[in-house]
Every structure is written in structure tokens, then in C-alpha cells.
């Protein structure tokens, strides 16, 4: 849907697993396999190198059948690398990704919403840069492992020194 306006657009898929053949077949059937780059399995240390090549980072989560809480680690990684995120607005994602401020949200499961979000961000490089930088600021200020440890230390400070009466 985006190829007429963006003929050089490519999808970079990092990772590997049991769905690789399904994904490959789906792109072959649509005559779009030339638009996909499969980077395969990579070490954790290599992942930022790939993420920084993205113009957009997609997190197309669909609506789950049940309410649940999850921590979308991929979003934190994308945002930490200053790459603008396009994510389905489910669960707690909107606590991290603020639409138009730190990323772009769309209704989960709506392909047209995902496509429109991508089109908007691909056509406005300044917006991509602003969202990417804002997302990186939020993650580096509030969501690092060091900060999480400090919060836990503060939470449990003195816990072991309390005595029951």
C-alpha cells in the first residue's frame, strides 16, 4: 500500500523462528519478497545497530482476547535508539507512547490505521526526528535498568531493618 509513493521502501526483519517460512511465503504470494530483508538471529549487542537503520519501528500489536499487562521491551529498545515508533494502542502501550509526542498510535488490528501512520511519518522527516528524539529522552530519563534498580532500592530500603512488635 505504501510502495507507489515510496518505491525504495524495505522491511527489515531481525530475528528468526518458526514463522520465518510463513512470512516468506506471504511476501512471495504478494510478489513483495524483494522488499524484505531478513537479518536472521542476532546477538543482543547487535540489535541497536539494526534498529538505528530503521526510518520507523513498527509494533503492530493486535487487540488481545483478554485483558493483560505486558512490558513491550521492543518499544523501549526502539525508542532508546531514537527511532520513531508506530504501535497498536493496546494495554499499557499508551503509557509509554504518547500519540504525536513520543510516537504514533493507531487502532489495533486496523491495517489502514497502520498504513496511514507509516505514510504520515514517511512523508514528514521532521516529525519522525522529533518523535524519535522525544521517545529517546523519555526512555533514557525514566526507563533504564539503573533507574529501575534505584526505584527498587528506595522501595525496599529499610525493609530488612524493620522488626515485628
151 pLDDT band, cuts 50/70/90, is: confident
SS3 163: coil
DSSP secondary structure code for residue 12 in this structure: E
Distance CA 87, CA 76 (A): 12
Checking DSSP bridges between strand 11-14 and strand 85-88, what pairing results, if any?
A: unpaired
Residue 73 confidence (pLDDT) above 70: yes
Between 142 and 70, name the one with better pLDDT.
142
- Contact status, residue 2 vs residue 35, Cβ threshold 8 Å: no
Residue % of the chain over a pLDDT of 90? 67
What does residue 105 show for φ and ψ, rounded to 5 degrees? -105, 150
Q: Which of 109, 8, 4, 106 is nearest to 55 (CA)?
A: 8
- Contact status, residue 138 vs residue 94, Cβ threshold 8 Å: no
Q: Which residues pair with 86 in a beta bridge?
A: 58, 104
- pLDDT tens readout for residues 17-37: 999 999 999 999 999 999 999
Instruction: Give me the numbers of helices (H) and strands (E) for the chain, helices first please.
Output: 7, 5
Distance CA 103, CA 126 (A): 13
The reported pLDDT for the residue numbered 146 is 79
- pLDDT tens readout for residues 83-132: 999 999 988 899 899 999 999 999 998 999 999 999 999 999 999 999 99
Q: Which residues pair with 118 in a beta bridge?
A: none
The cell numbers describing 58, all together, are 513498527
Amino acid at each position: 500500500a505504501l510502495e507507489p509513493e515510496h518505491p525504495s521502501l524495505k522491511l527489515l526483519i531481525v530475528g528468526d523462528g518458526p514463522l520465518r517460512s510463513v512470512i516468506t511465503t506471504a511476501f512471495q504470494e504478494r510478489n513483495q519478497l524483494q522488499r524484505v530483508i531478513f537479518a536472521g538471529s542476532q546477538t543482543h549487542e547487535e540489535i541497536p545497530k539494526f534498529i538505528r537503520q530503521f526510518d520507523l519501528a513498527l509494533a503492530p500489536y493486535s487487540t488481545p482476547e483478554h485483558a493483560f499487562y505486558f512490558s513491550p521491551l521492543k518499544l523501549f529498545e526502539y525508542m532508546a535508539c531514537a527511532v520513531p515508533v508506530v504501535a497498536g494502542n493496546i494495554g499499557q502501550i499508551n503509557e509509554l507512547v504518547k500519540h504525536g509526542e513520543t510516537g504514533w498510535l493507531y487502532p489495533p488490528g486496523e491495517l489502514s490505521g497502520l498504513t496511514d501512520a507509516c505514510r504520515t511519518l514517511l512523508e514528514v522527516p521532521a516529525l519522525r526526528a522529533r518523535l524519535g528524539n522525544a521517545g529517546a529522552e523519555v526512555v533514557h530519563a525514566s526507563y533504564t535498568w539503573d533507574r529501575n534498580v534505584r526505584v527498587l532500592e528506595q522501595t525496599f530500603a529499610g525493609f530488612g531493618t524493620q522488626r515485628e512488635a
